[in-house]
Structure 1
Amino acid sequence: MRIWSIANQKGGVGKTTSVVSLGGLLAAQGKRVLLVDLDPHGSLTSYFRQNPDNLERSLYHLFFEQRYKDKAFIQTVIKPTSLPNVSLLPATTSLATLERQVSGQEGMGLVLARSLAQLWDEYDYALLDTPPILGVLLVNALAACQRLIIPTQTEHLALKGLERMVHTLKMVMRSQNRQLPYTVVPTLFDRRTLASLTTLKEMRQIYHDSLWSEAIPVDTRLRDASHEGVFPHQLDEQSRGVRAYRHLLQDLEQAEAAREQS
């Protein structure tokens, strides 16, 4: 299983859209995909018409009573999506209380990694949608993943969020004594605006070694897919946004293959 975290400490940059778009395109290749919602707001969960306010079981429950060790229990938490080879490990709003409940308990940063280890042969990919704050949930995502994808809106204020995210990543890598490759993905790019053009130029100057060579454009079809609760490629496989995410996926897979061979 390949595990990718999609993270940024700024909201509204396209994290959930990236998770759903990449997951759908992987499924179209025949891959078995698990989407994991670690955000108490439950945007990914809501995308697939599950209600984060009243789910009986969710990711939250894996943190208690050693549930992350029980494969059978984990499978009862997982929900289907509109594609047969894509599943959802949903969030509930109770995740917002998790920080206070597990504070100081040993091993809480590895719950997700240990849960996914129980499912290692069940899926080819796990894509993790993360909250925009540093806490036990984001730490779990970074500890579990093999690659970090950082969607970043092409506007000036988003650069600060990107800077914080990279700083957090380096801090976590030092504490875990490992290297975690990351890819910065410019999102919501509008070549008609000076703000987008200027921000993308700044990104290329500062993050040239880790910046994806293209950008995800503003595309209303991505919003339409969310409204319908379907994967973007199901709605319009030739939309600008889907084509861009297809290019991104190709580049990410090439980078993973190269890393695994080295």
Structure 2
Amino acid sequence: MRVWAIANQKGGVGKTTTSVSLAGLLADAGKRVLMVDLDPHGSLTSYFGQDPDTLEHSAYELFLHQGIVPEGLPRQLLLPTSHERIALLPASTALATLERQSPGQNGMGLVIAKSLAQLWNEFDYALIDSPPLLGILMVNALAASQQLVIPVQTEFLAVKGLERMVNTLTMINRSRKQALPYTIVPTLFDRRTQASLSTLKYLREHYSAALWQAFIPIDTRLRDASRVGVTPSQNDPGSRGVIAYRALLKHLLSNQPASHVA
């Protein structure tokens, strides 16, 4: 299994859309994909028609055992999606309570890594949709991952979120055996606006080493796919957004660490 986290310390930058788009393209190519929703807002869970406010079973249950993951529990929590090769480990709003429950409990930062270990041979990829706040859930996502994707909306305020995310990654890497490689992905690009143009220029000047040099354009077809609960490539494989995500996926696969190349 290859594990990718999609994260940024700012909301509204396209994390869920990026997660679903990449997962859909991997599944279209015959890969078995697990999607993990660690955001208490549950956007990914809602995308596939589940209600994070009323779900009886969710990823929250993985954190209720003092850092130990009972055998078989992760598999019991999985839900089907609109794509036959994609399974969902859903979020519930109860995840928001973990921060005040977890202080002093050892091993809480590795719960997702331990959960994925139980599913290692059942999936080719796991994509983790992370919350926009630094806390136990983001730490879990980063600790479990082999590669990080950082979507950045092409507007100035999103750059501040990127700066915080890179600082967080520097901190996390101090406790990892190997630094976590990351790719910055410009999203919601609108070439008609000065904000998009100037932000993309800034990213290319200041983050070129980790930046995917293309961008994900604004595309209403991506929103249309979320409305009907299917992956963007299921909804319209020829849309501008899907074409861009297909190019991004090719880039990510070609730049994986050698031991993780598909």
TM-score in same-fold range (> 0.5): yes
1:114-146: CA deviations, max 9, x gaps? 000010000000000000000000000000000
Give the TM-score of the pair, scaled to structure 1: 0.97
Give RMSD over aligned pairs.
1.3
What is the CA-CA distance between 1:68 and the residue it aligns to?
A: 5.5
Identity of aligned residues (%): 64
What is the CA-CA distance between 1:102 and the residue it aligns to?
A: 1.3
Q: Does 1:16 align with 2:48?
A: no
What is residue 128 of structure 2 aligned with on the other side? 128
The one-letter code sitting in structure 2 at the alignment partner of 1:87 is A
What is residue 152 of structure 1 aligned with on the other side? 152
Give runs of aligned pairs for residues 1-262 of structure 1, distance below 5 A.
1-65=1-65, 69-256=69-256, 258=258, 260=260
Please give the secondary structure, in 1, of the residue aligned with 2:57: coil
Q: Matches of 2:67 and 2:27 in 1, distance apart?
A: 28
Give the TM-score of the pair, scaled to structure 2: 0.97
What is the CA-CA distance between 1:178 and the residue it aligns to?
A: 2.8
Please give the secondary structure, in 1, of the residue aligned with 2:155: coil
Give the paired residue count.
Answer: 261
Please give the secondary structure, in 1, of the residue aligned with 2:245: helix
Structure 1 unaligned regions, length at least 5? none
The structure-2 alpha-carbon separation of the partners of 1:68 and 1:125, relative to structure 1 and needing over 3 Å to count, comes to farther
Structure 2 unaligned regions, length at least 5? none
Q: Matches of 2:251 and 2:47 in 1, distance apart?
A: 26
Which structure has more helix as a fraction of its residues? Answer: 1
Q: Matches of 1:35 and 1:68 in 2, distance apart?
A: 21
The structure-2 alpha-carbon separation of the partners of 1:67 and 1:86, relative to structure 1 and needing over 3 Å to count, comes to farther
1:63-105: CA deviations, max 9, x gaps? 1136853342211110000111100000000000011111110
**Which has the higher mean CA deviation after the structures are superposed, 250-259 or 138-147?**
250-259
Q: Is the 8 A contact 1:148 1:183 kept in 2?
A: yes
Q: Is the 8 A contact 2:38 2:91 kept in 1?
A: yes
The structure-2 alpha-carbon separation of the partners of 1:258 and 1:178, relative to structure 1 and needing over 3 Å to count, comes to closer
